[in-house]
Amino acid sequence: MKDSPRPSPADNPCHCFALRRAARTVSREYSEVMGPIGLKHTQFSLLAILSYGEQQSISTLAELLGLERTSLTRTLRPLESQRLVERTDEGYRRQKMIRITAAGMEKYEQGLPLWQAAQARLNARLTGDERAQLHALLDLAQGV
């Protein structure tokens, strides 16, 4: 039996690997810019969602962020200990709700220019058409 040559990763690139690598790179860039205010990119994203003023259930937040509930809970802990967000019992059917506090809004407003700078750096790497294509392809990959 003759050994067949092993295919190169370039012949059949793994979509999961490529997406996760790109996501880690982009996530690292956003987290680095948030460093001066002591937030990770996931924490800032959570504050951004809550900054619209409506409290959200943990399930809804997890879905919006694309996180498992347990991962969201880990993301929430430091924000709760810093009193940037708080849990309430004002939800439906005894569902715990999360809302941003005044300190959380202040932290979000501190981070917004940093996020905008990171966003501008990433936008500069792609044309407007390429950004639109990227988002369309990501939506397609998610089945949206």
Q: Give 84's DSSP letter.
A: S
- What is the tens place of the pLDDT at every residue in 81-131? 999 999 987 656 667 899 999 999 999 999 999 999 999 999 999 999 999
SS3 113: helix
- Residue 134 within a domain: yes
What integer best gives the mean pLDDT of the chain?
Answer: 88
pTM: 0.81
Which pLDDT score is estimated for 138? 87
Which pLDDT score is estimated for 13? 79
- Residue 105 within a domain: yes
- Residue 1 within a domain: no
Place of tokens 């802990």: 77
Average pLDDT over every residue of 67-79: 92
Work out the angle at residue 27's Cα, subtended by the Cα atoms of residues 143 and 53, and round it to the nearest 5 degrees: 75
Which pLDDT score is estimated for 144? 61
- Calpha distance 88→13 (Å, rounded): 46
- Residue 70 within a domain: yes
What sign for the dihedral angle of Cα 62, 83, 55, 138?
negative
| CATH number of the domain to which 24 belongs | 1.10.10.10
Distances from the Cα of 82 to the Cα of 3, 32, 133, angstroms: 60, 20, 39
Which pLDDT score is estimated for 79? 96
- Residue 90 within a domain: yes
- Residue 3 within a domain: no
- Residue 2 within a domain: no
Q: Give 126's DSSP letter.
A: S
Task: Give how many domains the chain has, as a whole number.
Answer: 1
pLDDT at 54 over 90: no
What does 33-52 look like in DSSP terms, one character per residue? HHGGGT--HHHHHHHHHHTT
Which pLDDT score is estimated for 86? 95
Q: Which two tokens stand for residue 103?
A: 């300190």
- Residue 28 within a domain: yes
- Calpha distance 137→26 (Å, rounded): 17
Q: Which two tokens stand for residue 87?
A: 């849990």
For the chain, give the number of residues: 144
Q: Which domain holds residue 119?
A: 16-141
